[in-house]
Amino acid sequence: MEKNKEYKDLINQHAPSSPTLKNSFLAFLVGGGICFISEIFVLFISRFIPEEKAYLSATLILILIASLLTALGVFDKIARFSGGGTLVPVTGFSNSVSSVAIDSRSEGFILGVGSKIFTVAGPVILYATAAGTLYGFIYYIFNLVRDML
């Protein structure tokens, strides 16, 4: 038993953790940069269409760009550099879907792409939907109680 603990300590001594400070800084820079660019899109697009729809269009453009960069094989290189900065905005979600699509293409469109496409994004979709449902339920009860008072 004692020996096992010794070895576990040895593993920990020789396992450097990720450079959190550097990663956070790069994530701030790249993630913020992506949001900055998307604000420019919004400003430009809202000249032609209502502002609310301009925000949606900007999101769609980001998704498109991230997918294209994934297909060109550049996205993972940018992501590796940017310490999580590409992961949090919608670009990360786009990449997680399109990268699986490319990967599973060789296994066919139905059982390959079709059944595997959300293997990485799946948890986000499931728990985002679940959290939304829970929030909606709480909001409904809250309103019900408020109206009764």
Partner 1 sequence: MRRIVYFDNDVSFLGSASVGGREEKRGPLGELFDFCDETDRFGMKTWEAAEAEIARLSLNLAMKKTKISPDDLDVLLAGDLENQCVASSSGLYSFGIPYIGLYSACSTATEALFILSNLISSGFIKKGATVTTSHNSAAERQFRTPIEYGGQRSPTSQWTATAGGSFILGSGGTVKIKEGLIGKIVDGLTTDAMNMGAAMARAAFDTIYTYFQLSNEKINNFDLIVTGDLGKYGSQILEELLKKDLPGAEKIHADCGNLLYDENKQDCHAGASGCGCSASVLASYFLPKMEKGELKNILFLSTGALMSPSSVLQGENILGIAPLLRFSIGE
Enumerate binding residues for partner 1 (CB under 8 A).
4, 7-8, 10-11, 14-19, 23, 70-71, 73, 75-76, 78-80, 83-84, 86-87, 92, 95-96, 98-100, 102-103, 106, 120
Residue 128: CB atoms within 10 Å: 12
| C-alpha R_g of the chain | 21
Dist. CA 122–CA 110, nearest whole Å: 17
The residue (of 74 and 134) whose beta carbon lies closer to partner 1 is 74
- How far apart are CB 11 and partner 1 at their closest, in Å? 4
- How far apart are CB 15 and partner 1 at their closest, in Å? 5
Terminal alpha carbon distance of the chain: 62
Contact by Cβ (8 Å): 46, 54: yes
In Å, the largest CA–CA distance within the chain is 71
- How far apart are CB 141 and partner 1 at their closest, in Å? 36
- How far apart are CB 87 and partner 1 at their closest, in Å? 7
The residue (of 38 and 92) whose beta carbon lies closer to partner 1 is 92
Tokens 């293997």 -> residue: 119
- How far apart are CB 20 and partner 1 at their closest, in Å? 11
Residue 4 to residues 8, 10, 73, 83, Cα–Cα distance (Å): 6, 10, 43, 34
The residue (of 123 and 132) whose beta carbon lies closer to partner 1 is 123
The residue (of 44 and 81) whose beta carbon lies closer to partner 1 is 81
The residue (of 23 and 46) whose beta carbon lies closer to partner 1 is 23
